A and B are shown apart, each in its own frame.
Chain A
Amino acid sequence: AQKVTQAQTEISVVEKEDVTLDCVYETRDTTYYLFWYKQPPSGELVFLIRRNSFDEQNEISGRYSWNFQKSTSSFNFTITASQVVDSAVYFCALFYYGNNRLAFGKGNQVVVIP
């Protein structure tokens, strides 16, 4: 079965600090996709980043960066120089063919204090 674990529930940071969210996943498939979504108070899930299992290169996109470690089944996400607008719930999710669904973790509530 597919499983996504996000250990921390709520994380508070002071504005301009960096915040890293941990995600550990379980899957028996060799080809899969990992995602991070943001859910602000308005409720809509906003797609942030996607990583394919066969591409372990870590990247940076603006203030977002991610660290994909296939050997430890981890897909961590970092927001650099946090802003108040980053306050939201962040979900890690796993997708693979044959299941055709996203399996989500429980989410991390990020609170950025001005």
Chain B
Amino acid sequence: GAGVSQSPRYKVAKRGQDVALRCDPISGHVSLFWYQQALGQGPEFLTYFQNEAQLDKSGLPSDRFFAERPEGSVSTLKIQRTQQEDSAVYLCASSLGTSGRDADTQYFGPGTRLTVL
């Protein structure tokens, strides 16, 4: 089946603009995660959904960051009034999230590279 997809793959924004990044998880995956990856670093957790419920948003760096998953499938990460320090790759991952040996293995999308000028 299809893997995790993300769009757009690349986004250039002027400082102060709002952006919206989309994630389409693997069909049937209950859990969805967003990570931020700065250049040369490992991904850092942003937020976690189980179905439509956002269970953990402790990694969001500021209140300019907002994520939603209204119907429990597609998710959108929105960044308001973008700043240069928001430039990074934003990765989305999904997992089955149910019981079972490999239920918690996270599968990642290709990411969205955001550049804020």
Binding site for B on A (CB under 8 A): 4, 33, 35, 37, 42-47, 50, 52, 91, 93, 95, 100-107
Closest beta carbon of chain A to B39's beta carbon, Å = 11
- Chain B contact patch, size range: 20 to 34
Closest beta carbon of chain B to A57's beta carbon, Å = 14
Selected interface stretch from B17-25, B60-68, B73-81, B98-106: B98-106
Partner of A104, one of B42, B101, B107, B109: B42
Partner of B108, one of A44, A95, A106: A44
Given contacts A52-B101, A102-B93, A107-B41, 15 further A-B contacts (CB under 8 A): A33-B104, A44-B111, A45-B43, A45-B108, A95-B104, A100-B55, A101-B45, A101-B56, A102-B33, A102-B43, A102-B45, A103-B45, A104-B43, A104-B44, A106-B40
Give every chain A residue within 8 A of B48 (Cβ-Cβ): 100-101
- Cβ contact within 8 Å between A43 and B42: no
In the bound complex, what is the Cα–Cα distance between A86 and B20 (angstroms)? Answer: 33
Closest beta carbon of chain B to A111's beta carbon, Å = 15
In the bound complex, what is the Cα–Cα distance between A44 and B107 (angstroms)? Answer: 10
Partner of B106, one of A52, A102, A106: A102
Give every chain A residue within 8 A of B91 (Cβ-Cβ): 45
Binding site for A on B (CB under 8 A): 31, 33, 35, 40-45, 48, 55-56, 59, 89, 91, 93, 101-102, 104-111, 113
Given contacts A91-B42, A101-B33, A106-B42, A47 and B106 within 8 Å (CB-CB): yes
Partner of B110, one of A42, A102, A104: A42
In the bound complex, what is the Cα–Cα distance between A33 and B106 (angstroms)? Answer: 11
Partner of A50, one of B41, B42, B105, B110: B105
- Cβ contact within 8 Å between A43 and B55: no
- Cβ contact within 8 Å between A44 and B59: no
